[in-house]
Amino acid sequence: MSDSAQMVGGRYRLLRTIGQGGMGTVWQAHDEVLGRDVAVKEVLPPPDLTGSEREEFAVRTFREARAAGRVAHPGVAAVYDVLEEHGHPWIVMQLVHSRTLGEIIRDEGPMPPADAAAIGLQILEALRAAHAAGVLHRDVKPDNVLLTEDGRAVLTDFGIATTEDEAPLTRTGILIGTPAFMAPERAAGGQARPASDLWSLGVTLYLAVEGHSPFHRDHALATLGAVMHAEPEPLARAGVLGPVLLGLLRKNPAERMTLEEAERRLAVIITGGPPDQTGPVTASAGLGAGVLGAGATGLGARAARRRRRGLPLAGIAAGALVVAVVTGGAAWWSSRPSTGGETTRITPSVVTTLGRTTGTPAPSVSESTSAPAVTAGTSAPPASQSTPPPTREQPRTPATGKRPTQSPTPTKSKEKKPESPSESPGSLDGADRAEQEDEEPE
């Protein structure tokens, strides 16, 4: 059908084409009855359907359009009418004078994270209203997000919307939705659910800030495979929006970030509050199993910063404690009692014991700290092991003609005299040897 004026349904005059996609063409039209401009979507069935399959496709489109008509929210383009003409369905919707988010990204490139957060928050509000009415959009993508000049975001094209209990495949085997924005559970043949729309919003916001689709491939089957199994490239431009994107792109819908949590985090970003932090994760946990729990709260982030500021103080205190211990130990070591320079090794000393018993000469014994040395033929009684070694040694007096009647007390000189080469432990000097020879019986 050309852009020339043509009536549809006897009241909608088609003016020009304003959009086109895999499911059909969107026209700007004028309602001749109510005198207002509207958007009319021409829903085109796949060309390979048989006659009965086309009829079934039309019935399903009518049912989905009626479901979308139950959603009333400023962020949702309202559905006014649905009809069949020229062998396929037509859906009449609210006309919003705007540009699509996809068009802006293609013309101007990636947008700042704060701007994407403001758009995402409005789309979440629209999805909340749709889900409350039991309606799933199933095709959230940049080309279905309208942006007005006053900054309002409107979610449009509920033409393939469905209720929550509908299967993602039609009875003719057609997969409903755009593959690059389809949730993994739907790409695997599972049922659509509210979390499926949140995944599609996550992909939409990813494209808005990064400038490219995370899962788009050269053909549809490769794209669906990437949706189910591949991980997107690491975020390079998302900034504070990163935790929200990673939370929405968890492949397991049970672990995906909830609508309420996403709303709270986007509101914090828009108001300029501190972004929530995330924990370290692996690549599979970050996007496949979900990135990173979604992170700590703002209060937790401030507590973490306080802990980081306390680390230098703790290091200084620990260093001061080590210095105090070392200084105190050195002072104690230097002030302990002096032992007079003696070493722990005790050198043997020579002790002369003289004595006499009735009828039996008294043997002379020389002791050392290691073992007693007996020079006479008779054995001497063993020395007491409990007697401590002498601490001081006095110079020995030369032997005289008189023999002392008592054994002198062993002494030790203050300074250890160097031993002569001929002197050994346990030996007697010349005077003592002569005295011993005099005492031997004749």
Asked which of 48, 76, 94 is the last residue of a domain, the reply is 94
419 found inside a domain: no
Phi–psi pair at 29, nearest 5 degrees: -135, 170
CATH number, domain with residue 49 = 3.30.200.20
Q: pLDDT per residue over 66-75, tens digit each?
A: 878 888 899 9
SS3 of residue 348 by DSSP: coil
The pLDDT score that the predictor gives to residue 35 is: 96
Q: How many domains does the chain have?
A: 2
* Residue numbering of the annotated binding site for ATP: 41
The answer to whether position 204 is within a domain reads: yes
Active-site residue set: 139
pLDDT tens profile 75-98: 999 899 999 998 889 999 999 999
Query: pLDDT tens-digit profile of 237-293?
Result: 999 999 999 999 999 999 999 999 999 999 999 998 766 555 444 444 333 333 333
Please indicate, yes or no, whether residues 174 and 234 belong to a single structural domain of this protein.
yes
Residue 279 lies in a domain: yes
Among 52-56, 199-203, 216-220, 350-354, top mean pLDDT goes to: 199-203
For residues 87 and 142, state if they share a domain.
no
Measured on CA atoms in the order 162, 165, 167, 170, is the torsion positive or negative? Answer: negative
Lookup: tokens for 125? 């509000």
Any domain includes 155: yes
Binding site: what residues are annotated?
41
Q: From residue 184, give the alpha-carbon distance in Å to each of 36, 173, 207, 265.
A: 40, 18, 17, 24
Residue 291 shares a structural domain with residue 149? yes
The pLDDT of residue 262: 98
For 127-145, the pLDDT digits (tens) are: 999 999 888 998 899 999 9
Residue 431 banded pLDDT, cuts 50, 70, 90? very low
Average pLDDT, the chain: 73
**Residue 227 above 70 pLDDT?**
yes
Q: Using CA atoms in the order 216, 217, 220, 225, what is the torsion angle rounded to 10 degrees?
A: -90
Domain match, 88 and 107 both = no
Check residue 244 and give left, alpha or beta (phi > 0: left; psi -120 to 50: alpha). alpha
Q: Decide if 153 is inside a domain.
A: yes
> Is 215 or 352 the better-scoring residue by pLDDT?
215
Q: What is the CATH number of the domain that holds 156?
A: 1.10.510.10
Q: Domain of residue 74: give its range.
A: 9-94
Domain end among 302, 318, 346: 302
Q: Which of 424, 435, 441 shows the shortest CA–CA distance to 354?
A: 435
The pLDDT of residue 434 = 45
- What's this model's pTM, rounded to 2 decimal places? 0.59
CA distance readout (Å), 388 to 115, 364, 384, 429: 93, 20, 9, 24
